[in-house]
Amino acid sequence: MKPNEREDLAQAYVNAWQAVKQEKIKVTVEPYGWFDRSQSVGCGQVMTRRVRAAELLRGLAVLTARLAKGN
């Protein structure tokens, strides 16, 4: 995956997440095919998970399906 495609995937995931959940999330492109996915978990704490593109794509599919159904 090219660097600009990785950035596009990260931004698409963020946009879908915010549209469905109305919560902030941050996805940072990291080296060697990794992405850091950070979200607030309350009381000012942030949970960060390191994921691969495949996990973001699966999540994007779920989020856009929810958008299509109006959830």
Q: Quick one: pLDDT band at residue 14, thresholds 50, 70, 90?
A: very high
Q: How far apart are CA 37 and CA 47, in angstroms?
A: 8
CB atoms within 10 A of CB 63: 20
The 3-state secondary structure of 10-43, one letter per residue: HHHHHHHHHHHHCCCEEEEECHHHEEEEEEEEEC
Say what the pLDDT of residue 70 is: 87
Which tens digit of pLDDT belongs to each residue from 33-49? 999 999 988 888 999 99
Query: Which residues, 6+ apart, have CB-to-CB distance to 57 below 8 Å?
Result: 9
